[in-house]
């Protein structure tokens, strides 16, 4: 449903992203991994429509992406909650322009807050929430309008290891419950292997896609299993020697 074909993004003379291609199927969970500076966030911002100065083609359901849309929810690296709004209002603001009745909005907001496990905190201001709670609220805000695809820009990067693992499970549960496609940008290979069905590996200078690794592990995934480790190893390999080595399991796009 989401097709990215030959996308290049230049900032003056710097090529941040060169000829990147990837596809995300209906309800698919795709992870993009790579070191900082590989253009993964640039790519996500292009898909979100926050940046539209690019060459190539990005299309959702055959429609070229122009500007932002509620069809594409986004969760940023930091929760980015408005500090003057309560949790409820922070989620509600995403429905400000939704063509729904007040009652339907209320129901959707309550359901979404319940889904991310924050019921009871509706009236709390962001300053009273922990980092993990704030990021859950940001996820609820991105999902409340029922987008067809959710874009996650290293949403768990700033959290401690325990909270991060817990939220990874949550993310998986939400993904199953909502049936929404997800693109997760991360630099944590384990996170990518744990969550996604497909991993797009990127590299720097200029930012480009080096490999796409399918993750065919059964769920729920056991982080300690040999198959899990083997897959992690394959992704690391793709990260390190990208085009130099070509293991048979890795399917190359370029």
Partner 1 sequence: MNTLSSVLAAPPLGEAGGRPQTLPRSGQTLLRWLAGSGAFAALRRYFAQRRYIGAILPLAILGLWQASSSFGWIEPVFLPAPKKVVEAFWYMLTKQDLLKDVWASVFIIAQAFIYGTLLGVGLGFAAGLSKPVELFFSGTINTLRHIPSVAWIPLIVVWLGLGAPAKIVVLAKSIFIPMFLNTLQAIRGVDQNFIELAQALKLSRRQLIRRVVFPAIVPVVMVTLRYSVGLAWALVVIAEGISGLEGLGFLIFRAQNLLMTDQLLVCMVLIGLVGFGLDRLLFLMQRRLLRWQRSFGGGYA
Q: Please report, as ranges, the residues that interact with partner 1 according to CB under 8 A.
A: 48, 50, 68-70, 74, 76, 78, 80, 82-85, 93-94, 96-97, 125-128, 141
When the beta carbons of 18 and 45 are compared against partner 1, the nearer one is 45
Three-state secondary structure call for residue 181: strand
Give the nearest distance from C-beta 44 to partner 1 in angstroms: 11
Where do the H-state alpha helices sit in the chain? Answer: 40-48, 87-92, 102-115, 131-143, 161-178, 189-195, 226-241
When the beta carbons of 80 and 187 are compared against partner 1, the nearer one is 80
What phi and psi, each to the nearest 5 degrees, are found at residue 16? -80, -30
Give the nearest distance from C-beta 210 to partner 1 in angstroms: 29
When the beta carbons of 85 and 254 are compared against partner 1, the nearer one is 85
**Which residues touch 101 (CB under 8 Å, ≥6 apart)?**
none
Give the nearest distance from C-beta 130 to partner 1 in angstroms: 13
Q: Which pairing describes strands 14-24 and 2-11: parallel, antiparallel, or unpaired?
A: antiparallel
**Which residues touch 150 (CB under 8 Å, ≥6 apart)?**
72, 73, 74, 75, 142, 143, 180, 181, 182, 183
When the beta carbons of 47 and 235 are compared against partner 1, the nearer one is 47
Give the nearest distance from C-beta 92 to partner 1 in angstroms: 10
When the beta carbons of 21 and 52 are compared against partner 1, the nearer one is 52
Give the nearest distance from C-beta 77 to partner 1 in angstroms: 10
């Amino acid at each position: 449903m989401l097709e990215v074909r030959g996308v290049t993004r230049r900032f003056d003379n710097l090529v941040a992203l060169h000829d990147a291609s990837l596809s995300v199927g209906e309800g698919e969970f795709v992870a993009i991994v790579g070191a900082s500076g590989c253009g993964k966030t640039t790519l996500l911002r292009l898909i979100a429509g926050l940046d539209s100065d690019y060459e190539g083609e990005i299309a959702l359901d055959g429609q070229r992406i122009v500007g932002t849309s509620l069809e594409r929810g986004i969760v940023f690296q930091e929760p980015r909650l408005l500090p003057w709004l309560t949790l409820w209002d922070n989620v509600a603001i995403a429905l400000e322009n939704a063509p729904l009745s007040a009652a339907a909005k209320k129901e959707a907001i309550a359901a979404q807050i319940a889904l991310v496990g924050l019921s009871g905190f509706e009236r709390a201001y962001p300053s009273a929430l922990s980092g993990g709670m704030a990021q859950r609220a940001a996820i609820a805000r991105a999902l409340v309008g029922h987008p067809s695809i959710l874009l996650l820009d290293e949403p768990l990067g700033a959290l401690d290891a325990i909270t991060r693992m817990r939220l990874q499970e949550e993310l998986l549960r939400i993904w199953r419950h909502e049936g929404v496609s997800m693109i997760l940008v991360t630099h944590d290979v384990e996170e990518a292997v744990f969550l996604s069905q497909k991993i797009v590996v990127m590299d720097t200078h200029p930012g480009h896609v080096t490999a796409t690794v399918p993750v065919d592990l059964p769920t729920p995934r056991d982080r300690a299993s040999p198959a899990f480790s083997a897959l992690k190893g394959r992704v690391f390999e793709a990260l390190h020697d990208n085009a130099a080595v070509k293991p048979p399991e890795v399917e190359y796009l370029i």
